[in-house]
Amino acid sequence: MQTIRLEEPGRLNVISTELPASPAAGEALVRVRRIGVCGTDIHAFNGKQPFFTYPRILGHELGVEVVAVGDAVTNVRPGDRCAVEPYLNCGRCIACRRGKPNCCTAIQVLGVHADGGMREQFVLPARKLHTSEKLTLDQLALVETLGIGAHAVQRAAVEKNEVALVIGAGPIGLAVTQFAIEAGAEVIVLDINDARLEFCRETLGARHTINGANENVPDALQKLTAGDLPTAVFDATGSPRSMAAAFDYPAHGGRLTFVGLFQGEVSFNDPNFHRRELTLLASRNALPEDFTRIIQRIEAGRIDTTPWITHRADFGAAAENFPAWVRPETGVIKAMIDL
């Protein structure tokens, strides 16, 4: 079967691989129908993705169709269309036992630690499939991205009418923005790309935006919040410079949540951190219930995924198109690969 593999930074290769074996008792064999390209894939392509080794089959934002299931599977059946929860957890460690499989001590994320979905078929635990009879394959492939944002907003316990700042308007930042607005927050988005900031205002409904390339960010935040500053700040950039600067943005008693990550260390001024009694949070992946909640919201029409997909290619042209998708000037919000 055809497979796209990232051999090393900057080099995707279309190869032929063996068809997978029949699924074991608790597994499902799926045919991949849609693959969303996300920041993780782009960072891996650029050689900047933590927890990553080469070569690797990318792809964890997936809309799939079930082909066959093992004898013990009851949650899905052949023909079902599903979103994939790509976080393979052990079920035994302290995090899993406490209901946090998203940060399992032995986690294997498809497309990062283990080969992902840029191939025609593969086998995975059936419990990682989330079905919908209503959603399109495009919508199913977007559930994982939205889940990252939903989990971050829930982790920060965003409240109605509070001011939230989202730093970074890539796909993950857009998902955070979407769910912070749904939680009732007054959202400010900070980025350096005017087109993405316009998308946040006109499509997602962000109240305010700041272009950090030509505006003084602290002054702009002071003005927009009447001197109070945001009480919930999310950094979705994966940029060490941005993450270090983010400590200056929360209000006294506020929270700072890191959604993006990078290969390195973050430092901050401790007195500045302590005098405001800030809460620092990390948000990683999403929980199974996030997938269920997002599917229900899309089905109910509460989330419109239509504007997200700005670029598309079929599987045969994806490797050729991929280098253009990593460049901000091409205006990509979300690229989708069709099989």
Instruction: Map out the domains of the chain with their CATH numbers.
Output: 2-147+285-338 (3.90.180.10), 157-282 (3.40.50.720)
* Half-sphere exposure at residue 93, Cβ-oriented, CA atoms within 13 angstroms: 12
Global pTM value: 0.93
Q: What is the mean pLDDT of the chain?
A: 95
**pLDDT band, residue 81 (cuts 50/70/90):** very high
Q: What are phi and psi of 97, to 5 degrees?
A: -65, -25
The fraction of the chain above a pLDDT of 90, given in percent, is 91
In this structure, of 21-30, 215-224, 244-253, 319-328, the range with the lowest mean pLDDT score is 319-328
- pLDDT value at position 328? 79
CB atoms within 10 A of CB 58: 29
- pLDDT value at position 40? 86
Q: What are 14-26's pLDDT values in tens digits? A: 999 999 999 999 9
- pLDDT value at position 48? 81
Task: Summarize the confidence of residues 4-16 as an average pLDDT.
Answer: 95
**pLDDT band, residue 206 (cuts 50/70/90):** very high
- pLDDT value at position 43? 86
Q: Can you say whether the dihedral through the CA atoms of 299, 303, 307, 309 is positive or negative?
A: negative
Task: Summarize the confidence of residues 144-154 as an average pLDDT.
Answer: 97
pLDDT(263) > 90: no
Q: What are 15-65's pLDDT values in tens digits? A: 999 999 999 999 999 999 999 998 889 889 988 888 888 999 999 999 999
- pLDDT value at position 134? 97
Q: What are 293-334's pLDDT values in tens digits? A: 999 999 999 999 989 999 999 999 999 999 999 887 888 899
- pLDDT value at position 216? 97
In this structure, of 36-40, 113-117, 146-150, 177-181, the range with the lowest mean pLDDT score is 36-40
- pLDDT value at position 49? 81
- pLDDT value at position 51? 80
